[in-house]
Chains A and B, each alone.
Chain A
């Protein structure tokens, strides 16, 4: 039986608390479109988020979700994926969450390559704490914690992900949810870790990086003649591009790299979730008995 899934399947009646015009609405919409296109039902997916405005996304979707703590959704997601590789695990968190407090997990997830898709709701500011500079804020950005302008150079997610070994790196923009839905679907289809950095204007606290600011600069890589996202060197150059022109779409993609869980030998005959089910039905205590001989 083929069941088609409507994006409305993912709707809930929960009141959405984002500001009017927030870039997160487009991400919510695009994610529903992508999951419907991929025919992934709500019970087959696990949405993991951290803390921040964007991390409330799982509360606004009819799907399994886990809103964890600040900076840690990738680690929680990795555990869930290793426990049950059949789950479609998608992380949605903000730039502060993923690139700031969770930066260590971000770097290690890139090189680990679990089959997890991460959507970073990147608004270049801390919104829920009301307007402090974030890792992706451009140098000079004036906020309550940087009254003289941010001093550090901005964190470059695409370049860092590429250097750390990510197998899929893309960027999208909340001004174009259809494009975003396509990129998310590609990210979920990709076997391995997929980073989708979404430019997502904070209409309340970021008065610099507005919809208009992005629209003047973004362009689509798929329209760039001759651009080959499997070319690592070309991707490295595109990853540096920021300012006058900002590329959208798939910056880098390499297929066929084994995922982390593909290579875990203990997963070959079942997952920790399925194995526990078997043990509850039929305790296999006799198979431990021989282990005692190791201690003699």
Chain B
């Protein structure tokens, strides 16, 4: 018999695509976050609209959860397949709630110490509302067995179904009440995992794409062009849905080439402009990336990676594009690559990318992935702090500077820093043309040998200047440890939790996380890695791309690598198991 565990559990909702798993999962997250619990929710879905197993895994705790975790304690199985697929990942004393029509091998579950709560969810829905409200019954039943007050779910029902009219709201409330009461009455006593509200102010529930979008908005981005591609699509969707008075122009372009070129054109005209895509779309954008590099046009590109190559695993996660993104497009030009590890860092990257792009007049790529883009995390309202946002447009000639120009405006003037001051397009004294061909200081096409050398030197000097500004990798855990995990981007969450697991078991571990990846913070990285006893690169790819980048930049090799390329994100337990 498992003793009572309070406020530390995971709930998994699974069903066929089209059964409302995502919206139900989202609603349940809201109900818990409003009661003060910390939430981390991972989505797992397939590239189809109807049918096929989807699930939503919600981790609940009193401290910040940076990742999903195994095992789960309660499964809401809307189909038999959900129960079958997740039965091996249910904790002892855990339970499965499912509609009684669903055929489940109860004996097998009971043998594993898993409880079966077959409930008349469909009948309850039909009696108090309609069959379509079966998911509402399931969510309420989950709240019921965990002892979570129904009022939070009722609030979510009112807010989320309000647009469908009072009748729909009332029916859902009646269904929820009936299912809640029955679950509490029949099953709550046997279920050891409990949830209790905390007295904390409201928290936000936000995913990586939303955090990047919010950051970009605050950073002055007012032009976004994109072509829909999972898992980046929700960025242009979210920005398109903003109130019109904010003035964010969004354009769903005819393809990714048009999307990136529109953003470049908008930036050339003087706006802060962005595009968002995944690896396939980014492949199409590669040539235009070089255009921005050559003509020194600030550009922000979000690349939310998914499983490759080619169409690969379209709805799943991977970190397979790191070296591609750092090297994409012909020739050599400065670029910046940022790989935020948390939603807070996504918000910051969202506005910081524009400052870097304008300061160094080059493309800046925010490298995310499906896991980071679509996983929801609860966040204190203050964690998104707009007062920290600054808009730095870099070197600009003032109107007085322009008036003083005697020999015309040299858009690509040779300077010590490599940064040539920009002028707002449309000023009578700053008329110029830029070209993707090699060009002189005024922007005119030339293949002259000395100019080519000087102009390449000028452009590439910006990279050295940008490197000064790149942040060193971040350490988590004790300064000295027997084992150091090394990771980048979204692997931060699972790695951080793995470090906690290891240290709580008496091991000695810490983590080095790379957020700023290019220009690579060589010196600091080398210094930190040299101080490690044993390093393990943990990467969501096959070829250990960060480990290769580290070796290329510092000459240092990591001692071991852990790789995962099945499209499913690492859990902390996966990492610990690999280390054993």
Bound together: yes
Task: Show the binding face of A for B, using Cβ within 8 Å.
Answer: 14, 41-44, 46-48, 51, 56, 58-59, 61-69, 72, 75-84, 86-87, 104-105, 108, 264-273, 275-276, 279-280, 283, 285-289, 291-292, 295-296
Q: How far is the CA of A270 from the CA of B425 in the complex (A)?
A: 16
17 contacts between A and B (CB under 8 A): A43-B426, A43-B431, A47-B433, A66-B433, A72-B258, A80-B269, A82-B249, A84-B269, A268-B244, A272-B223, A272-B248, A272-B249, A272-B273, A275-B220, A280-B220, A288-B218, A295-B205
CB–CB A105/B258 < 8 A: yes
Q: Which of B225, B248, B268, B387 contacts A285 (CB 8 A)?
A: B387
A280 near B291: Cβ-Cβ < 8 Å:
no
Interface with A: B4-12, B259-267, B494-502, B513-521, which one? B259-267
Q: Is B265 within 8 A of A80, CB to CB? A: yes
Task: Provide the bound-state CA to CA distance between A292 and B257, in Å.
Answer: 33
Please state if B257 and A75 are interface contacts (CB–CB under 8 Å). yes
6 further interface pairs, Cβ-Cβ under 8 Å (given A41-B428, A81-B269): A43-B430, A48-B265, A69-B291, A72-B291, A83-B270, A276-B222
Q: Which of A80, A280, A283 contacts B268 (CB 8 A)?
A: A80
A-side contacts of B461, CB under 8 Å: none
Quote the shortest CB–CB distance from A9 to chain B (angstroms).
Answer: 10
B287 on the A face (CB < 8 A): yes
Contacts of A285 in B (CB 8 A): 218, 386-387, 389
Measured as residues with beta carbon below 8 angstroms from the partner, the interface class of chain B is 35 or more
User: Which residues of chain B are within 8 angstroms of A86 by Cβ–Cβ distance?
Assistant: 426
Smallest beta-carbon distance B301→chain A, Å: 14
Given the complex, which residues of A lie within 8 Å of B257, measured CB to CB? Answer: 72, 75, 105
Within 8 A of A (CB), among B237-278: 242, 244-251, 253-255, 257-259, 261-273
Residue of B whose beta carbon sits closest to that of A79:
B265
Whether A276 pairs with B220 at a CB distance below 8 angstroms is yes
A-B residue pairs, 9 tightest by C-beta = A79-B265, A65-B433, A79-B262, A75-B261, A272-B222, A272-B271, A83-B266, A295-B204, A76-B265
Q: Which of B54-62, B103-111, B434-442, B535-543 contacts A (4 or more CB under 8 A)?
A: B434-442
**Contact assessment for B254 and A105 in the assembled complex, using a CB-CB cutoff below 8 Å:** yes
Is A267 a contact of B272 with CB atoms below 8 Å?
no
Contact B426 A266 (CB under 8 A): no
Query: Which chain A residues border B249 with CB–CB below 8 Å?
Result: 82-83, 264, 266-267, 271-272
Query: B322 CB to closest chain A CB, in angstroms?
Result: 25
Asked whether B313 is an interface residue with its Cβ less than 8 Å from the other chain, the reply is no
Contact of A267 among B247, B259, B379, B393 (CB under 8 A): B247
Q: How far is the CA of A266 from the CA of B358 in the complex (A)?
A: 23
Residue of chain A at shortest CB distance from B254 = A108
Contact A295 B431, beta carbon cutoff 8 Å: no
The answer to whether A84 touches B220 (Cβ under 8 A) is no
Is B202 positioned at the interface, with any CB of A under 8 Å from its CB?
yes
**Interchain CB contact under 8 A, B248 and A266:** yes
| Contact, CB under 8 Å: A275 / B247 | yes
> Out of A46, A59, A79, A273, which one reaches B261, CB within 8 Å?
A79
Residues of B with C-beta under 8 A to A44? 426
Q: How far is the CA of A31 from the CA of B287 in the complex (A)?
A: 29
Contacting residues, chain A, for B253 (C-beta < 8 A): 75
Contact in complex: A288, B247 (CB < 8 Å)? no
Contact indicator B270/A276 (Cβ below 8 Å): yes
Whole-angstrom distance between the alpha carbons of A105 and B264 in the complex?
A: 15
Does B220 contact A83, Cβ atoms closer than 8 Å?
A: no
Separation of A201 and B254 alpha carbons in the complex (Å): 32
Residues of A within 8 A of B436 (CB): 51, 67-69
Q: Which residues of A contact B242 (CB under 8 A)?
A: 291
What is the distance, in angstroms, from A79's C-beta to the closest C-beta of chain B? 3
What is the chain B residue whose CB lies nearest that of A82?
A: B249
Interface contact B266-A104, CB-CB below 8 Å: no
Q: Identify the closest chain B residue to A77 (Cβ).
A: B265
A93 shortest CB reach to chain B, Å: 13
> Which B residues are in CB contact (< 8 Å) with A48?
265
Set B259, B269, B287: member contacting A83, Cβ < 8 A: B269
- Indicate if the CB atoms of B386 and A66 lie closer than 8 Å: no
| B271: chain A residues within 8 A (beta carbon) | 83-84, 271-273, 276
Provide the residues of chain A in CB contact with B425, threshold 8 Å: 46, 64, 84, 87
Partner of A78, one of B262, B431, B434: B262
| B34 near A292: Cβ-Cβ < 8 Å | no
Cβ contacts under 8 Å, A80 to chain B: 265-266, 268-269
Chain A neighbourhood of B272, CB < 8 A: 272, 276
> Is B214 close to A, CB under 8 A?
yes
The complex places the Cα of A191 from the Cα of B86 at a distance, in Å, of 60
| B203 at interface by CB-CB < 8 Å | yes
